[in-house]
Structure 1
Amino acid sequence: MAAADQAPIGSGFTAKSTAREVLAGFDLSGQNIIVTGGYSGIGLETVRALAGAGARVTVPARRADTAAEALAGVAGEIEIAAMDLGDLASVRRFADHYLETGRGLNILINNAGIMAPPLARVGKGWESQFGTNHLGHMALAMQLAPALQAADGARVVALSSVGHVRSDVIWDDPHYAARTYDKWEAYGQAKSANALFALGVDLLGRDVGVRAFSVHPGGIFTPLQRHLPEEEMVALGWKAPDGSIPPMVQAMFKTPEQGASTTVWAATSPKLAGKGGVYCEDCDVAKLATADSQRWEHARPWITDDAKAEKLWAMSEAMLADA
């Protein structure tokens, strides 16, 4: 990807635009969309907006009963199916069942994720954040490739995060086999991997009509924080000692519906036609970071590097082939 591609294009929306505002006037009837993690937080608002615009939305869920309860009041055509991103057999069963329907897949949104949990392992001993946030979603996309290609103009949206600034992919030890586990470094690695995955999909898919984007949804209080004790959120500055949210944080953080807006913009905006591989924030393509960038904004150079995207793809394919 050329560095010039990683620059705002003037979307007409803002950091506080909502998903429904982004989709105003869109008719997504006949579109098939999959949203992982689409039953809580920003995933739920993403499904609400897309289904409300007429799309048929499939929500694969590790807790299907919980998903059914959360989505019961959401208008539109929504299907729920069992899938656990940490269990590749489950991922492949879900994808195979989807392919058996014969539907194309217009949009795949890799929304689900975990943040800063204690060290845990999934799959073939993979660190859980890298395994769930990246490898599980990569396996899903690879298995669904025929449906994406059949849609003629499909998009893949991977939820990355400004957390990517914490770490590039730890190329020599991504699963913490030989180094002390740092949950925030591991989260940063997983979010960098999400962005490089989108770039990799775009490099491979653009010639067959599949484009991909990564997005930072913004700071939002959702169940993603479930692994963080209250005192850690105070230490991070997200909350005051009395549990209240400081005014500066209130001004910067978004509601879940605002947090879903960059996702749906990347998934549907005609302004992104013919583009791909870029990292987006606040309903626009993000700037490439410079020495003057704040730690909560812009795309660090390592997530815009084609060679790193190709390296991650090859490394991840090898991991998945053994699983």
Structure 2
Amino acid sequence: MTTKQHKLNSGFNADSTADEVLAGIDLTGRTALVTGGYSGLGLAATKALTRAGAHVIVPARRPAEATAALKHVPRTEVDALDLADLDSVRGFADRRIDDGRRLDIVINSAGVMACPESRVGPGWESQFAINHLGHFALIGRLRPVLASAARVVAVTSGAHGLTDIRWDDPHFNAGYDRWLAYGQSKTANVLFALHLDRLGRETGLRAFAAHPGSILTPLQRHFSREEKESLGWITSDGTAAAGFKTPEQGAATAVWAATSPLLEGHGGVYCEDCDIADPADEAADGGVKPWAIDPESAARLWELSAELTGVNG
């Protein structure tokens, strides 16, 4: 079944929190994996999932920092993972396979945003590499331990509206633009969820892309206070501007996509404000751009990603 990109009228909205979308849902006995689950939106998602009874595995580039952040969060465990390093991805996935536990939920929340130009691996642009390729390789290697009816959620952004995939130069070798690089990586997240769902739906695996909205988190670490104020993200006294969500509200859409009974039989869609989003040309505000939900582009990106990473899950 191919899900139409239109609202379901879920009953939730931009103000809903992760705890609210989980009300009445018992995740006891379920295992979740949340990349970046020790900071910002990822931490809010981790806390909400554990309060609903789930056990949450948190991969971390800085395990000591993650352990400290999760010290008082029950039913969590930390393991080392650097999404910029495919050997690290392989090692993490091998440990999960050796462990043998089935994963019911995976939320790809870790990422970087509009950072200065940097290269990882064989010269890959870092935002495309970390936000997309690292997660692509991770999910591909974790496929043997994804439970039947597992859900994978790729955290994306409204910044996908900045650009399609730059097929002729995805690594910005001909000139770097930090916002276009970020936007491309977020388009890649949506296309990844679309094609993963296409490949997995017959066996029960469903995938979703989730736009959390605007939230002030460590993701904006590369911006000074003056830049944040000039961009309209904060007011002159340093508080979040109108329209910004709390981390608990920002985590809600990913958690909703990962757990909502309303999404049974659905998948491969872009979600925002705890609902499936309308196409951008039909939505009054927000929505998803056509290039991010093009099945042919999704298949093309999958093929490119498999070629680059050597992983084809």
| TM-score, reference length from structure 2 | 0.96
| Alignment correspondent of 2:296 | 307
| Alignment correspondent of 1:215 | 210
1:197 and 2:192 are equivalent in the alignment: yes
SS at match of 1:221: coil
1:28-78 deviation digits (Å, cap 9, x = unpaired): 11111100000011100100000111111100000000001111122x311
The CA distance in 2 between the partners of 1:45 and 1:218, in whole Å, is: 14
How many Å apart are 1:96 and its aligned residue?
0.5
How many Å apart are 1:152 and its aligned residue?
1.1
Which among 150, 154, 159 is matched to residue 155 of structure 2?
159
Point out where structure 1 has 5 or more consecutive residues left out of the alignment.
Answer: none
How many Å apart are 1:199 and its aligned residue?
0.5
RMSD: 1.5
Point out where structure 2 has 5 or more consecutive residues left out of the alignment.
Answer: none
The CA distance in 2 between the partners of 1:84 and 1:116, in whole Å, is: 19
The CA distance in 2 between the partners of 1:320 and 1:87, in whole Å, is: 10
The CA distance in 2 between the partners of 1:49 and 1:197, in whole Å, is: 25
How many Å apart are 1:244 and its aligned residue?
3.2
The CA distance in 2 between the partners of 1:185 and 1:238, in whole Å, is: 19
| TM-score, reference length from structure 1 | 0.93
The CA distance in 2 between the partners of 1:288 and 1:172, in whole Å, is: 26
Paired residue type of 1:181: Y
1:126 and 2:115 are equivalent in the alignment: no
The CA distance in 1 between the partners of 2:195 and 2:282, in whole Å, is: 26
SS at match of 1:106: strand
The CA distance in 2 between the partners of 1:174 and 1:235, in whole Å, is: 29
The CA distance in 2 between the partners of 1:78 and 1:259, in whole Å, is: 21
The CA distance in 1 between the partners of 2:234 and 2:33, in whole Å, is: 34
| Alignment correspondent of 2:137 | 139
How many Å apart are 1:24 and its aligned residue?
1.1
1:247-271 deviation digits (Å, cap 9, x = unpaired): xx32x11000111100110000111
Paired residue type of 1:308: S
How many Å apart are 1:10 and its aligned residue?
1.1
Which among 238, 251, 269 is matched to residue 244 of structure 1?
238
| Alignment correspondent of 1:187 | 182
The CA distance in 1 between the partners of 2:37 and 2:276, in whole Å, is: 23
1:160-216 deviation digits (Å, cap 9, x = unpaired): 0001011111111000112x1000000000000001000010011111211000000
The CA distance in 2 between the partners of 1:228 and 1:11, in whole Å, is: 35
| Alignment correspondent of 1:320 | 309
Distance change (3 Å), C-alpha of 1:57 and 1:293? same
The CA distance in 1 between the partners of 2:62 and 2:293, in whole Å, is: 34
Paired residue type of 1:290: D
The CA distance in 2 between the partners of 1:304 and 1:21, in whole Å, is: 28
Moved over 6 A (4+): none
The CA distance in 2 between the partners of 1:194 and 1:73, in whole Å, is: 31
| Alignment correspondent of 2:263 | 272
| Alignment correspondent of 2:253 | 262
1:174 and 2:170 are equivalent in the alignment: yes
| Alignment correspondent of 2:97 | 99
Distance change (3 Å), C-alpha of 1:194 and 1:20? same
How many Å apart are 1:292 and its aligned residue?
6.8
Distance change (3 Å), C-alpha of 1:40 and 1:292? closer
The CA distance in 1 between the partners of 2:310 and 2:287, in whole Å, is: 34
SS at match of 1:38: coil
Paired residue type of 1:244: G
Matches within 5 A, 1:73-92: 73-74=72-73, 76-92=74-90
How many Å apart are 1:231 and its aligned residue?
2.4
> Structure 1 residues 4-13 or 39-48, which shifts more?
4-13
| Alignment correspondent of 1:224 | 219
The CA distance in 2 between the partners of 1:116 and 1:67, in whole Å, is: 23
| Alignment correspondent of 1:233 | 228
How many Å apart are 1:293 and its aligned residue?
4.5
